[in-house]
Amino acid sequence: MGNSDTHLSGQIGVPHTVVRAEELSTGAVLAGMRAGRSRIAGSAAVELSFTVSAGAQRVGVGGQLESGDGPVVARVGVCGVPSGVVSLHTERGEVHAASLSAGGAGEVEWRTGARESPFIRVEVRRPGGSMAALSNPIILRCGKPAPSRRPDA
């Protein structure tokens, strides 16, 4: 949970927690938080998207991906962090890092497998190292991949 101990003007909402919820209601927000579908952002200007996919399956923050032994692709999109650094973390610590442009937007992709780590999470830092965003993890499972579903099924 990101929050602020506000004592000065302009500090409210810096940082804050962003929750992916089914609707804008107390129950839905709490369900999203319980499911781990949240991230911390250093300001309203910081946007972070994070998904992991294996074949036709794709999950977001707080999700669980049954990838089997196949490759897993992590994709991160960021905006609002000029010249920042995006890093991906597993149980081994930082495993991949990439710099953002001076404009503050960019995408990062990293390939791995569930056998290498049971989770992946993201950190985004500003120049100098202060945190701009932090995600909850996406869980990777080596079990049998779930069958693909047709969009019309």
Closest alpha carbon to 38 in 2, 66, 13, 11: 2
Rounded CA gap, 30 and 37, in Å?
10
Closest alpha carbon to 79 in 105, 100, 42: 105
Q: Return the structure tokens found at 137.
A: 């993890």
Q: What is the pLDDT along the chain (153 residues), one digit of tens a residue?
A: 544 455 555 555 456 677 777 888 888 878 777 777 776 677 778 899 999 999 889 999 888 998 877 889 999 999 999 999 999 999 999 999 999 999 999 999 999 987 888 999 999 999 999 889 899 899 998 765 545 544 444
Fold entry, domain 45-141: Immunoglobulin-like (2.60.40)
Is residue 131 a contact partner of residue 123, using CB atoms and an 8 Å limit?
yes
Domain borders along the chain are 45-141
Closest alpha carbon to 39 in 15, 20, 18: 18
pTM score, whole prediction = 0.77
Pairing of strands 71-79, 93-99: unpaired
